[in-house]
Amino acid sequence: MIDPTRATASSLLAEQEAGRVTAEEICRAYLERIERLDGQVKAFLRVDADAALAAARAVDRRRRAGERVGALAGIPVAIKDNLCTRGELTTCGSRMLANYRPPFEATVIGKLRAADAILIGKTNLDEFAMGSSTENSAFGASRNPWDLERTPGGSSGGSAAAVAADLAPLAVGSDTGGSIRQPAALCGIVGLKPTYGRVSRYGLVAFASSLDQIGPFGHDVRDTALLLGVIAGRDAADATSVDEPVPDYLARLDEAPEGLRLGLVREFFGEGLDAEVEAAVREAVRVYESAGAVVKDVSLPHSRYGIPAYYIVAPAECSSNLARYDGTIFGHRAENYEPRTAEEESIPPLIRMMMASRSEGFGSEVKRRIMLGTFALSAGYADQYYNQALKVRRLIRNDFDAAFREVDVLVGPTSPTPAFRFGEKASDPLAMYLSDIYTVTTNLAGIAGISIPCGLTRAQLPIGLQLLAPAFAEERLLRTARVFERATDWHQRRPNLAS
């Protein structure tokens, strides 16, 4: 029997089909590896071994009975803990939701269950998905399987670390400004941010509703495409999901897009880009040229306003979305909210309760965003900040539209640096925000992006290549990514985790 924890999801499907391994054996192998290694990696907040095994056995029974099984039958999938799972804890990495059990289920979770995937556990994240390292989680940081002294990136760092450490073959994350692509890059795996509207956001705890999108992680492009095909599609429960047919992403995956024109984004090679990352990305571009792609220089002139615009739009929406956590209906409720000062005595008890609950429930980064966003939206300042940011957002989108008239896919680094050490950026919000410099514009424009492994630094840290495609061109994006993968073996490298 193969070692299921060294196999891709696609090959595990074939092995089950051929009767060489059962869903239960696959599930046990991953649970055993989690047991052995997750104490070091800390990718998971919770693992439900009993439920996972029961689901796996049910798949085996149905297969034995000759019944049809779903597209992910018997494949363990790790879930970021900001996706609602009915009746089960969904914490968003926050004390605010430490005891929250949603009475409903995210559409994506329902689709995974319907495809007979095995939900193996919920993964760690920066609180409410705000961050780039998982250091903002109220439950401790996850570690990068390539170097346990470094962060896995974030905010979907737990999901990326789980796949990189072979604790699950597939994982689901969310990307508001880079939270799938950046941790995928830092952990040496594939991560895809779908077009805004491609995947239903119903049941994804909202951070910034006009930017959030759920997407897949896998070891290779095929596995990532497989998972995207299961979760994509219009959903009546999410009015922003779009009624575009979901293509069969696997059908023509190995066909290189004809006459592929790649655009090398000039602004993605500026100050702050690590030399080893730059060298690996330029080498990847040469691989594309050898494969017959035409590479052109293109410009996205408003890129430099991406971070400022994102850090107004995202906090503005966050301040509104997080207003619901006040201890009345949603979220942690403070036990003690007695007035401590004369000034507080004049505040009505209900308001004091809300103030104490929010002070206790939220961590410092979330509070910072709520304050930034509230300020950016406040009367008198909205025109200077929020409304300006919306205009910049339009210009950024126009830049992409113009670039995609010249080329099919844009290319550049995913993250300016490889994985950084704990604490290295945590004390400096701006330094942390700059790790999203190449990813946030994708979300502002609503287009699709993927990060694929394209190298290792001398210190054996993974490097990610980012490819971007127009809205709803995920199929082109995946096929383009596959061109690189066929010519290289970076996606097959694994970290050396001592057991």
Residues 307-346 that bind ligand GLN (CB under 6 A): 314
The correct pick among 93, 157, 169, 178 for binding ligand GLN (CB under 6 A) is 178
Q: Catalytic one among 179, 200, 357, 415?
A: 179
Q: Is 131 in the site for ligand GLN (CB under 6 A)?
A: yes
Q: Which stretch binds ligand GLN (CB under 6 A): 169-177, 295-303, 349-357, 392-400?
A: 169-177
Please state the closest distance from residue 239 (CB atom) to ligand GLN, in A.
21
Provide the 8-state DSSP code for 427. Answer: T
Q: How far is Cα 227 from Cα 215, in angstroms, rounded to an integer?
A: 8
User: Cβ distance 144 to 150 under 8 Å?
Assistant: yes
Q: Based on CB atoms, which residue is closest to ligand GLN, 292 or 423?
A: 423
* Residue of 8, 179, 357, 417 interacting with ligand GLN (CB under 6 A): 179
**Element holding 498 (H helix, E strand):** none
Of the residues 88, 175, 267, 326, which one makes contact with ligand GLN according to CB under 6 A: 175
Binding positions for ligand GLN, 188-217, rule CB under 6 A: 207
Check binding of 123 to ligand GLN (CB under 6 A). no
Q: Which is nearer to ligand GLN, 108 or 129 (CB)?
A: 129
Return the number of the residue (264 or 307) whose C-beta is nearest ligand GLN: 307
Of residues 85, 155, 241, 321, which one binds ligand GLN by CB under 6 A?
A: 155
461 burial via Cβ count (<10 Å: 0-12, 13-18, 19+): buried
Question: Segment near ligand GLN (CB under 6 A), from 124-132, 228-236, 340-348, 383-391?
Answer: 124-132
Q: Which residue has the tokens 């998905």?
A: 129
Contact indicator for 124, 137 with CB cutoff of 8 Å: yes
Nearer to ligand GLN, 130 or 138 (CB): 130
Cα-based distances in Å from 433 to 309, 371, 382: 12, 16, 22
Q: Which is nearer to ligand GLN, 132 or 480 (CB)?
A: 132
Write down the H helix ranges in 347-457: 349-361, 364-377, 386-406, 429-434, 440-445
Work out how close the CB of 213 gets to ligand GLN at its nearest, in angstroms, rounded to a whole number.
9
Q: How far is the CB of 215 from ligand GLN (least distance, A)?
A: 10
Q: Which two tokens stand for residue 340?
A: 């401590």
Cα 140 to Cα 135: distance, rounded to the nearest angstrom: 7
174 is catalytic: no
Nearer to ligand GLN, 167 or 318 (CB): 318
At 11 the three-state DSSP class reads: helix
Which residue is closest to ligand GLN by CB? 179
CA distances from 287 to 88, 281, 475, 487 (A): 46, 10, 20, 7
Site map (CB under 6 A) of ligand GLN, residues 71-110, x = contact = ----------------------------------------
Smallest separation, CB 201 to ligand GLN (Å): 12
Nearer to ligand GLN, 212 or 485 (CB): 212
378 catalytic per annotation: no
For 252, the enclosing helix (H) or strand (E) is none
Total residue count of the chain as it appears in this document: 499
Which listed residue (80, 111, 122, 193) is catalytic?
80
* Binding piece for ligand GLN, criterion CB under 6 A, among 10-18, 113-121, 126-134, 274-282: 126-134
**Residue 259, C-beta contacts closer than 8 angstroms, at least 6 positions apart:** 294
Among 85, 176, 417, 457, binds ligand GLN (CB under 6 A): 176
Adjacent-strand bridge partners of 193? 449
- DSSP codes, 312-376: HHHHHHHHHHGGGBSSSSBS---S-----SHHHHTS-HHHHHHHHHHHHHS-HHHHHHHHHHHHH
- Specify the stretch interacting with ligand GLN by CB under 6 A; choose among 9-17, 58-66, 128-136, 351-359: 128-136
Between 175 and 223, CB nearer to ligand GLN: 175
Q: Which is nearer to ligand GLN, 178 or 229 (CB)?
A: 178
Residue tagged active-site, from 10, 155, 200, 357: 155
* Contact call for residue 120 and ligand GLN (CB under 6 A): no
CB environment 120-129: b (16+ within 10 A), e (fewer)? bbbbbbbbbb
Token duo for residue 447: 């287009």
Cβ proximity to ligand GLN: between 22 and 451 the closer is: 451
Nearest distance from C-beta of residue 435 to ligand GLN, angstroms: 7
Interatomic CA distance for residues 420 and 199, integer angstroms: 30
* Per-position b or e across 16-54, b if 16+ CB within 10 A of its CB: beeeebbbbbbbbbbbebbeebbeebbbbbbbbbeebbe
Shortest distance (Å) from residue 84 CB to ligand GLN = 16
Residues within window 378-437 making contact with ligand GLN, judged by CB under 6 A? 436
Stretch that binds ligand GLN, among 17-25, 93-101, 174-182, 301-309 (CB under 6 A): 174-182
Residue 179: active-site member: yes
Asked whether 499 and 36 are in contact (CB, 8 A), the reply is yes
10 Å CB burial of residue 65 (0-12, 13-18, 19+) is exposed
4, 110, 177, 449: which one binds ligand GLN (CB under 6 A): 177
Applying CB under 6 A, which residues contact ligand GLN?
Answer: 129-132, 155, 175-179, 207, 314, 436
The residues annotated as belonging to the active site are 80, 155, 179
